Chains A and B, each alone.
Chain A
Amino acid sequence: MSKILIGRYVPGNSLVYKMDPRGKLLVTILFIFIIFLANNWVTYAIITIFSFLAVAATKLKAKVFWDGVKPLIWLILFTSVLQLFFTTGGQIYWNWIIFTISSYGITNAIYIFIRFTLIILISTVMTVTTMPLEIADAMEWILTPLKYVKVPIDKIALVMSIALRFVPTLFDETLKIMNAQRSRGADFNNGGLIKRAKAITPLLVPLFINSLETAVDLSTAMESRGYRDGANRTRYRILKWSKYDLYELAYFIILVLLLLVFRTK
Chain B
Amino acid sequence: MSIKFEKVSYTYFPGSPLEKKGLDNVSFKIKEGQFIAIIGHTGSGKSTLMQHFNALLKPSKGRIEIAGQTILPTTSNKNLKELRKHVSLVFQFPEAQLFENTVLDDIAFGPKNFGYSEQKAKEKAWTWLTRVGLPKSVANRSPFDLSGGQMRQVAIAGVMAYEPDILCLDEPAAGLDPRARKQMMGLFSKYQQEGHTVILVTHNMDDVANYANDVLVMESGKLIKHARPAEVFKDRSWLKEHYIEEPKASLFASKLTNFTFSNTPLTIKELVKGIENNLKE
Question: Footprint of B on A, CB under 8 Å?
Answer: 1, 3, 10, 173, 176-177, 179-187, 189-190, 201-202, 205-206, 209-210
Query: Given that A190-B78, A202-B99, A210-B96 are known contacts, is A1 also in contact with B12, CB under 8 Å in the complex?
Result: yes
Complex Cα distance, B16 from A3, in Å, reads: 11
Partner of B56, one of A3, A179, A205: A179
Q: Are A185 and B89 in contact (CB under 8 A)?
A: no
In the complex, chain A residues whose CB is within 8 Å of the CB of B97: 177, 180-181, 184, 202, 206
A interface: dominant SS: helix
What 12 new A-B contacts, CB under 8 Å, besides A180-B94, A182-B84? A176-B96, A177-B96, A181-B97, A182-B56, A183-B88, A183-B89, A184-B84, A185-B114, A185-B162, A186-B113, A201-B99, A206-B98
Give the interface of B toward A (CB within 8 A).
12-13, 17-18, 51, 54, 56, 77-78, 81, 84-85, 88-91, 94, 96-99, 109-110, 113-114, 144, 158-159, 162
Instruction: Pick from B91, B98, B113: contact of A179, CB below 8 A.
Output: B91
- Other-chain contact of A184, B13, B77, B109, B144 (Cβ < 8 Å): B109
Asked if B18 contacts A180 (CB within 8 A), the reply is no
Structural contact, A187 and B81, CB atoms closer than 8 A: yes
CB distance from B177 to the nearest CB of A (A): 20
Q: Which residues of A contact B51 (CB under 8 A)?
A: 179
- Chain A residue numbers with a CB within 8 Å of B54 are 183
Q: In the complex the two chains form, what is the Cα distance from A187 to B89 in whole Å? A: 15
Known contacts A185-B81, A205-B99, A206-B99; A179 and B109 CB within 8 A of each other: no
Chain B hits for A205, CB < 8 A: 99
B110 touches A184 (CB 8 A): yes
Indicate the member of A173, A183, A202 with the most B CB atoms within 10 Å.
Answer: A183
